Amino acid sequence: MLTPFDILGPQGRIAARLDSYEQRDEQLAMADAVAAAIADRQHLIVEAGTGVGKSFAYLVPAILAATEAEADRPSASAEEAAERPPDRAPRVPDRAPRVPDRAPRVIVSTHTISLQEQLMGQDLPLLASVIPREFSSVLVKGRSNYVSLRRLENALQRADGLFRDDEEFRHLRQLADWADKSGDGSLTDLSYRPLPAVWDEIASDSSNCMGRKCPHYKDCFYYRARRRVHHAQVLVVNHALFFSDLALRRMGVSLLPDSDVVIFDEAHNLESVAGDHLGLSVSGGQVRYVLGKLYNDRTNRGLLVHYELRQLQQEVDRCRFLADDFFAEIVELRRTAGGENGRIREVPPVENPLSPALDELAKKIGTFGSRLDDESKRQDFTAAAARLNLLADNLEAWRRQSIDDAVYWIDAPRATSSGRRARVTLWAAPLDVGPVLREQLFDRVPTVVMTSATLAVGRPAKFDFFKTRIGLTQAAGQQLGSPFDYRAQVELILPRGVPDPREQPQAFEQVVVEMIRKYVARSDGHAFVLFTSYELMRRAARQLAPWLAQQNMGLLSQSDGTPRSQMLARFKAEPRSVLFGTDSFWQGVDVRGDALRNVIITKLPFDVPDRPLQQARLEAIRASGENPFLSYQLPEAILKFKQGFGRLIRSRDDQGMVVVLDPRIRTKPYGRAFLESLPECRVVEEAAVADESAV
């Protein structure tokens, strides 16, 4: 019987294939724990430091379990045990594992695209070449990533009624040529990003799908992919798709097949992603977009124009006027009842004639479509009606606050310029995702493995905070350090004399700018500067830009609106650069080698306590008799702090410094909890005075 040790051990199959392969005891320990969790059908939490090789540690035991026939599952023979290298013994379960009726299907879920690409492009192909069993793996993409051949054909036929400018027509023709040659039919097979207005008309859509009745069913890219998904043993998805599926399962629908093992990498994001997909959001822009696809009164384009349905066009205009009035009332509600953060605590006194009007329009559109002989054209009207119904339902669900134990808020400016249409979004999110995850995930899937470099808090480290936030009551836990030598590789610098950011915010900001200048000069660029405030980042970038120009150093700032992927590519290509980033750069960013030698953390990453969802969670904790700072805000900030610190050392050869400018890490009693969360490294305290060379 093959074990993870046979693949990952010092004389294992990967070591035989790769000359540079290094045995990592932490990786082997994690692989044993994952194998035991699958065999024992229990849940597992693993915090594994950077460099452990988490992906191999969970993929190898998962693949072995998914490919192991029942006849091949007896315990290792005496001969096998005798041949095993003496420096490591296989893990023996405390009790006999329950053998499932069939080999388990495994879902691996990640938060970032880069990790998905690593799994599909590097890790799984290598394991397929060294594990002596056949297995299939597939990257599962959301349906809207695929082109619908039927919708593409329809769009080509009535392009004049859908599009107006030359670029849109050019993109449509290019996409038609591409669809004839593509083997995948998804956005990832395109070398460019198509215009959203064009792709929306040709993308696969569940409400606009004819299934087996479609004339293109046999050639359908989406259904081809779906067949691969249902036959694969290892499915790779992202958290967003996984929790979209979980939300649909509550309504009796599913996107993904049932699985026996779910592995969440980057698991520290589970609560936030689950909350996003188990709530709802609807915006004025969405309503106007859907109505505009039916009839755009400015361009005289849309589905209803093509069929010359003038009475229904008037109905669209009526809905558009009602939408303007409804969202104007919402803006006023935001001003009068939403406080500083837009939170709506009670069912609002707002009438909603818009939802009945959308439902009525949907009914009339569906009626017209049902009279068409061409089933393909009829489907376009069925889909349009479904979109209108969904908008109507979401608007009314928000207005009535129909989701139990949810937080409701309005994202809109408190005041707008005269005659200017405000951007308005209505939000609802569950106060606690734990009960849903417990019912829909942990009680239904035999083994859920959750891993990240940042899941435990405190010393000794515990998983209590993470488990509480996701509703997990029973799971095995394992914390594994990093194989890297942080004492040799990292210098943690804590400047003395920096003003307290809460007590002296202006003085703090002034010193922070000087400290960034000092430490960027010390590392000659090669630096990330991590902010918790977009405004502070913007002001610091403006103040430091002239000095950086004098030093001939590049400045890459999120305040400029440059996409994250482009910023990273430029930073790696131009090492004498400084990158200013907020939330998205604290995690999921991997820069190895000399390009990054300095990470500056401007403030301890406490979340803003007046955000609607955060505010409601703190109130609920306080109402239960607990201290919200100690039981929620502090552990949450520590986990994010660990993520920020982890940007520096990504390999055994990386070296550099992490500078924490927030003095509270030294002056407040809770500061010790942040320091104790880090790997052991050299700590240097020095005066907060700029170097003369940096002035």
625: left (phi over 0), alpha (psi -120 to 50) or beta: left
- Distant-in-sequence, close-in-space partners of 116: CB < 8 Å, separation ≥ 6: 110, 139, 236, 238
Q: Identify the pLDDT of residue 294.
A: 94
State which residues of the chain have pLDDT below 70.
Answer: 69-103, 414-420, 689-695
Q: Identify the pLDDT of residue 610.
A: 86
Are the CB atoms for 528 and 596 separated by under 8 Å?
yes
Q: Which residues lie across from 600 on neighbouring strands?
A: 529, 659
- Distant-in-sequence, close-in-space partners of 473: CB < 8 Å, separation ≥ 6: 438, 442, 467
Count Cβ atoms below 10 Å from residue 110 Cβ, excluding itself: 24
Residues 243 and 622: their CA atoms lie apart, in Å, by 29
Q: Identify the pLDDT of residue 103.
A: 63
Are the CB atoms for 55 and 263 separated by under 8 Å?
no
Which of the 8 DSSP states describes residue 462? B
- Distant-in-sequence, close-in-space partners of 309: CB < 8 Å, separation ≥ 6: 368
Residues 5 and 84: their CA atoms lie apart, in Å, by 9
CATH class of residue range 486-694: alpha beta
- Distant-in-sequence, close-in-space partners of 310: CB < 8 Å, separation ≥ 6: none
Domain limits, CATH 3.40.50.300, in the chain: 486-694
Q: Identify the pLDDT of residue 417.
A: 52
pLDDT tens sequence across 527-564: 999 999 999 999 999 999 999 999 999 999 998 888 88
Sheet with 137-139, side-by-side order of all strands: 137-139, 234-238, 106-110, 261-264, 447-452, 44-48, 476-480
Q: Identify the pLDDT of residue 254.
A: 87
Q: Identify the pLDDT of residue 162.
A: 84
Q: Identify the pLDDT of residue 102.
A: 55
> Cα torsion at 55, 475, 606, 632 (round to 10°)?
170
Sole residue written with tokens 């500056």: 600
Q: How many CA atoms lie within 13 A of 291 on its CB side?
A: 29
- Which long-range contacts does 66-72 make (Cβ < 8 Å, 24+ apart)? 66/103, 66/104, 66/105, 66/106, 66/135, 66/233, 66/234, 66/261, 67/103, 67/131, 67/133, 67/134, 67/135, 67/233, 68/1, 68/2, 68/103, 68/133, 69/103, 70/99, 72/1
Fold for 280-402, please state it.
Four Helix Bundle (Hemerythrin (Met), subunit A) (1.20.120)
Residues 343 and 337: their CA atoms lie apart, in Å, by 8
Q: Which amino acid is present at 97?
A: P
> What's the pTM value of the predicted model, to 2 decimals?
0.88
Sole residue written with tokens 């919200």: 628
Domain limits, CATH 1.20.120, in the chain: 280-402
Q: Identify the pLDDT of residue 84.
A: 37
